[in-house]
Structure 1
Amino acid sequence: MSIIEEAKKALLKYPLCDHCLGRLFASRGFMISNEERGRSIKNVLFMEALNSSAGTYDEGVLTALARSGHRESLLFMRRIGKAIEPQSCFICGNLFDKINTNSIVNRIKEIINEQGIEFSSFQVGSVVSRMIIDNEVKVSTELGITSSESIKREINRMIGKALADSLGKRYSRLNPDVVVRVNTGDGSVSVEVMPVYIEARYRKLIRGIPQVGDASVASVAKETVIELKPLDVVLHFAGVEGPEVRVLGLGRPMVIEAIRPLSRNIREGTIIKNGVQLLNLKAAGKVQVREIKSKAGELRRVYRVLVKLYGNVNDEQLKSLEDYFSNRQIRQSMGRGKRVKLIYGLKVIPVSGSILELIIDTQGGFSIRRFITSEGTEPSISGTLGVKVIPIEVDILGIWY
């Protein structure tokens, strides 16, 4: 069935405005608006319904066109003495006649200027009544039309184009700086500022620095985004460590999320303050947050642990310890459950007397201290050596995916 035949079938059953008729065939033809497409289809139907040379006309089609508001059909029907009253569009109820894009754009600009929002890209979202959406689906389904697009998409595009022309900003569906929301029911508008995400790694160069709280990694990270004037700051860490643990090497991955920032100029590079070093600050997105959350427990780590032995062990036992914890699974009780992790390798370095240095290459997501002491862990360092072993210092030398 041709577009004209499908359109005739639709109009004979429902009064449809130019927008809604054209939208039924949105995927069939480009570089033309739905309104123009619908208007053009009605004009062709009008011409087909009139055979001037023969002096005949298709009254049913012309009545349907006039009922849908087609101007030429309305005039023709009046000429033959049949006044047709235009009806509201079955799908949208003539919603497009009520949408004032200039007024919407002006209100959005007022909000942006009043709040001092800086941005370079935007997206538009709209709220449309459930009845309109249901009517739209009803028409497409009943007529078996698969070339349509949603009314929300048309409204978003229409307002988006007007905003882009007025603001000189870029429309972006993927990663907009702000999202403009328009309620077509009550005409209200709002501007949602999207978060700014900054990827980084942090190093703790001295002991006694917690991840969060006063004089912490979090406090230094928050200071780095103060220029963005955010409403709030959320930190996403790839795992945790205690305040007494230094984080060295390339540092621990993290993402700084600035909530509703008024500026989006990210300070990139490296920052060091109060024993905390933030490395490789750069723009990121939600994908990095998801990656950190999903992989935090699987990050491979290398620990340096200084331990004290409360008992005698010989060189053979220490060598045996290295051999035993080569690609060895350990089980550790964590709350009500157990975690199984892999120790890739262990190196024992005698320091002096009962003091040893252990270099442990392992999966993350478990307590390295409890692995040393044997608390809730099997096998463990203490359990394998058969003596009490207490960690004195813990450093993280490397973390990577």
Structure 2
Amino acid sequence: MDVLPSARALLATGPLCDNCLGRPFADRSFGLGNGERGRGLRVAAALADDEDFDPGDPHDCWVCEGATARFDEWAERAVEAVEGVEFDTYQVGTRVPPLVEENEVLLREDAGLEPDAGEPLRKEYNREVGKRFGRLTGAEVEFGRPDVQFLLDLDENRVEATVNSAFVYGRYRKLERDIPQTEWPCSDCRGSGRDGADPCPTCDGTGYLYPESVQQLTAPVVEDVMDGVDSVFHGAGREDVDALMLGTGRPFVIEVEEPRRRDVDVERLEADINAFADGKVEVEGLRLCTHGMVERVKRLDASKRYRAEVEFGGDVTAADLTEAVGALEGTTVEQYTPNRVDHRRAAKTRTRTVHDVEGELADPRHAAVEVHGEGGLYIKELISGDEGRTEPSLAGLLGVSATVTALDVLAVEGEDEPFEDEAFFLD
């Protein structure tokens, strides 16, 4: 493109501001702003043609209709929109009026330029307002998932600000039984707590089948400290309601929606949660993390170690138990969806690996069994056989019924790599 003849053609379309004159040449002379490009072309054309210099008034520009004179104003309005909110990163987007978009097309068409020459006003607005916002706040632009995002609606003359969620990673131990991981609304009243005009008899008017959960004992504290509007609990799997979670704990992420605070003392937060949970649940290793950690705790292949207290339907010898656990160790188990969860899980056969098994007989009818297995292995059914739905099983190998009377989870760890990857942490 011969820029000077093209600049003359653009100027011939009507009054233009420097930015709209320079924008079709946005891919030329890296390091210049569109306003600098436009002014340079305007000066060059005046000199070459020996004409009086017309600086051009942005408010008279027939393309942007004065929009390029408002970069500072929009940046200041964006700052006001997130007053009182802590953030380190941001992103700016712009919605340009349809008439201005049409003017941009006509400008290039009338000057004989390609329809996509240079860049659109929308992109320039994102950059110019973004730079100014960064200077005003000290924050850095982030094109992935920033702390705050803005949509500058030039047509409606408003700033739409979005405060993205903050995330806290940690591990929890559940020290009492009959506590679910997440809220468990009552199925009879659907969480309302009412049966007509009376309290629901199933949940005693609480709206929950269980009055407390790991979520309810942890997330409200994080939400309050970060001054958010809501929170979501994400766990790396979940233990049964009647199982304890001990040992190294289970990885989790608490997501706080629309937080006004992000720079929190995680050690103090950890202590606050543990005090609030009052010995029922405790957390450790809290760290601020990215959104990507949610996907990691949900998707990373994990192995788990369990300890089960087992009661047998007939006498079992120590030799019998040693032989049976030896037969299970290292084997691949086929498990059809257990009876106890087939109302909420798809009916299918799953194969899971039993890494190792240890068993110690307390008396001929009772034993403690530790199992290290692939994630998703149903331990109660590995012990009982679940009426033939799990093969092989401890009960099947022993030839007597076997029931888990108590189950503890001792460890939840990544199969091939740890959950705690530094790339996902912010501190």
Query: Shorter-chain TM-score category?
Result: 0.7 to 0.9
Residues 1:24 and 1:332: Cα distance change in structure 2 (over 3 Å): farther
How far does residue 37 in structure 1 lie from its aligned partner after superposition? Answer: 1.0
2:62 to 88, 100, 103: 88
Deviates more, 1:350-359 or 1:27-36: 27-36
Structure 2: which amino acid aligns with 1:339?
R
Match of 2:148 among 167, 178, 181: 178
Give the structure 2 partner of residue 394 of structure 1: 407
CA distance in 2 between partners of 1:87 and 1:137 (Å) = 15
Q: Quote the residue 2:333 is aligned against.
A: 330
Distance 1:144 1:371, change over 3 A: farther
Distance in 1, Cα, partners of 2:56 & 2:256: 57
Structure 2 unpaired stretches of 5+: 184-210, 338-345, 415-427
Q: Residues 16 and 56 of structure 2 are in contact (CA less than 8 Å); yes or no, is this contact kept in structure 1?
A: no
Q: Which residue of 1 aligns with 2:138?
A: 169
What residue in structure 2 maps to residue 201 of structure 1? 171
Q: 1:148 aligns with which of 118, 122, 130?
A: 118
Deviations 1:343-364 (A, max 9, x none): 1111122122211111111111
Report Cα offsets for 1:200-226 as digits up to 9, x if no partner: 110112333321244321122124311
2:293: which partner in 1? 288
Note the C-alpha offset of 1:5: 6.1
Residue 124, structure 1, aligned to residue 127, structure 2 = no
Q: Deviation at 1:391?
A: 0.2
Contact 1:266 1:282 in 2 (8 A): no
Map Cα deviations across residues 88-145 of structure 1 (whole Å, 9 max, x no partner). Answer: 23xxx43625x634543454444444xx4333443322222466557768959x8569
Q: Please give the secondary structure, in 2, of the residue aligned with 1:43.
A: helix
Give 1:238 shift: 0.8
Aligned to 2:311: 308
Q: Percent identity?
A: 27
- Confirm or deny that 1:352 pairs with 2:377: no
Asked whether the 8 Å contact 2:252–2:297 carries over to 1, the reply is: yes
Deviation at 1:8? Answer: 6.1
Question: Bigger radius of gyration, 1 or 2?
Answer: 1
Distance in 2 between residues matched to 1:4 and 1:323, nearest whole Å:
85
Q: CA deviation at 1:326?
A: 2.7
Q: Structure 2 vs 1, CA of residues 379 and 18 (structure 1 numbering), >3 Å: closer, same or farther?
A: farther
Indicate whether 1:23 and 2:23 are aligned.
yes
**1:389 counterpart letter in structure 2:** A
Greater CA drift, 17-26 or 305-314: 17-26
> What displacement does 1:288 show?
0.2
1:384–1:182 distance in 2 versus 1, CA, 3 Å: same
Q: Letter of the aligned partner of 2:96 in structure 1?
A: V
CA shift digits 1:68-101 (9 cap, x unpaired): xx82799xxxxxxxxxxx8723xxx43625x634
In 2, distance between residues paired with 1:353 and 1:111? 70
| Partner of residue 79, structure 1 | none
- Equivalent positions of 1:239-254 (< 5 A) are 239-254=237-252
The residue that corresponds to 2:129 in the other structure is 159
| Selected match of 2:213 from 207, 210, 216 | 216
Backbone CA RMSD of aligned residues: 3.2
Closer/same/farther in 2, CA of residues 346 and 10 from structure 1, 3 Å limit: farther
Deviation, 1:11, is 6.7
Please point out which of 222, 235, 238 is paired with 1:237: 235
Deviates more, 1:355-364 or 1:37-46: 37-46
User: Structure 1: where are the runs of 5+ without partners?
Assistant: 53-61, 75-85
For 1:368, which of 379, 394, 399 is the aligned residue? 379
2:203 counterpart residue number: none
Judge conservation of contact 1:224–1:267 (CA < 8 Å) in 2: no
What is the count of residue pairs matched by the alignment?
A: 363
Please state whether the residue corresponding to 2:255 is helix, strand or coil: strand
Deviations 1:24-44 (A, max 9, x none): 333433332111112212332
- Mapped to 2, the partners of 1:259 and 1:3 lie a distance apart of 49
* Change over 3 Å in CA distance of 1:315–1:72 after alignment to 2: closer
Are the aligned partners of 2:226 and 2:260 in contact in 1 as well (CA < 8 Å)? yes
Deviates further, 388-397 or 267-276? 267-276
TM-score normalised per structure 1:
0.79
Query: Structure 2 CA distance, aligned partners of 1:110 and 1:245?
Result: 49
Work out the CA distance in 1 between the residues paired with 2:166 and 2:35: 37
Change (3 A) 1:168 1:23: same
- Please give the alpha-carbon distance, in whole angstroms, between the structure 2 residues aligned to 1:288 and 1:316: 45
Give the TM-score normalised by structure 2. Answer: 0.74
Q: Which secondary structure state, in structure 1, belongs to the residue aligned with residue 178 of structure 2?
A: coil
Measured against aligned partners, the alpha-carbon deviations of 1:310-347 in whole angstroms (never above 9, x if no partner) come to 12344443233233223222222232322221111111
* Aligned counterparts of 1:23 and 1:337: Cα–Cα separation in 2: 59
